[in-house]
Amino acid sequence: MKKWFYAMIILLLLGWGIHTFQQSEELDEVLPPEESELRLPELSHNTLTINRSEIHKGDLLLINTQYPVPNHAEIQDVVNLFEQNHLVDGFGISDNSVELPLDMLKRFTAMIESARAEGVNHFLINSGYRDLEKQAELYEQLGSKQANPPGYSEHNLGLSMDIGSSLGLMKDAPEGKWLENNAWKHGFILRYPEDKTNITGVMYEPWHFRYVGLPHSAIMQEHDFVLEEYLEYLREQGTVYAEVEGKEYKVSYYPIQAERSIKVPIEGSYTVSGNNTDGVIVTTWGGDPVSVGMEDR
């Protein structure tokens, strides 16, 4: 009797195993082998790995007496405009020491072409990129009220220019007025305006323009922000949206304390810039802004 009982148990187990195996085969017919364990949604984003070194890279770095130019900063393709005078087109230079990175020269040239179309065409470049040695000489000559120490000037970063006019002082010249009203359209900002000296800690410099890029210059123009105010605004808001020349932008600030993964849309474009203090700003456009996000690692 026990033998029959054990035989029935074995037959039942075999039947269950066959049924389970058949179910598994049917499932594999529905899902491809690589999807049989986990059905994944269609991806709409790429993932970037961001570490703390990214805080100190990009066009939005805050440079002042508290936050110096990062030690590892590499300024690419710097040219002396006196030695490469074929690059001087539509503007003058004040002396033979003026240097600019090539990408800044292209941005400046494109901007003054717009000014020239409006009859404003007496621009000079008085200063562009300065290495630490040049900055030290200037600091020794002018003192702390008119110059920052070496390593603490935006000129050492290669993103700023002192722009002049052959017609007179920039605060009065048509070139200065045009830049004050239009430089933002080309990604530049008047870095040290007259009414923000208590924030920037720098005297009014109507000649000093800094590149931050769009849409940041447009947002700063709309809100009358200097860079310090803009970075704090992003820190408080987290995310802001802007439409500039038909493009819709999403600008998001992320604090970086450790390595993080940031999601950006596959379709469209993006930039990442550190603020040189505590985080990065991710700017996306041309894709699905909803798919931007971040995870800790």
Q: What is the pLDDT of residues 37-52, one digit of tens each?
A: 334 344 567 888 999 9
* Phi and psi torsions of 223, nearest 5°: -100, 0
Structure tokens at 151: 């390593």
- Pick from 269, 240, 268: which is nearest to 252 by CA? 240
Q: Is 205 a catalytic residue?
A: yes
* Phi and psi torsions of 80, nearest 5°: -85, 120
Structure tokens at 119: 């009859």
**DSSP bridge pairs for 162:** 127, 208
Task: Please list the alpha-helical segments (H only) found in the chain.
Answer: 2-30, 102-117, 132-142, 174-182, 197-200, 216-223, 227-237
Quote the pLDDT of residue 233. Answer: 98
Catalytic residue among 26, 205, 267, 295: 205
Quote the pLDDT of residue 206. Answer: 97
Q: What average pLDDT does the segment 168-190 reach? A: 97
Q: How confident is the model at residue 73 (pLDDT cuts 50, 70, 90)?
A: confident
Q: What is the pTM of this model?
A: 0.81
Could you tell me if 243 and 264 are in contact, meaning their C-beta atoms sit under 8 angstroms apart? no
- 268 vs 34 pLDDT, higher one: 268
Could you tell me if 77 and 104 are in contact, meaning their C-beta atoms sit under 8 angstroms apart? no
Q: CA–CA separation, 30 vs 26, rounded Å?
A: 7
Q: CA–CA separation, 47 vs 293, rounded Å?
A: 9
Going along the chain from its start, the domains and CATH numbers come out as 44-60+224-297 (3.30.200.180), 71-211 (3.30.1380.10)
Could you tell me if 291 and 44 are in contact, meaning their C-beta atoms sit under 8 angstroms apart? yes
Q: How confident is the model at residue 230 (pLDDT cuts 50, 70, 90)?
A: very high
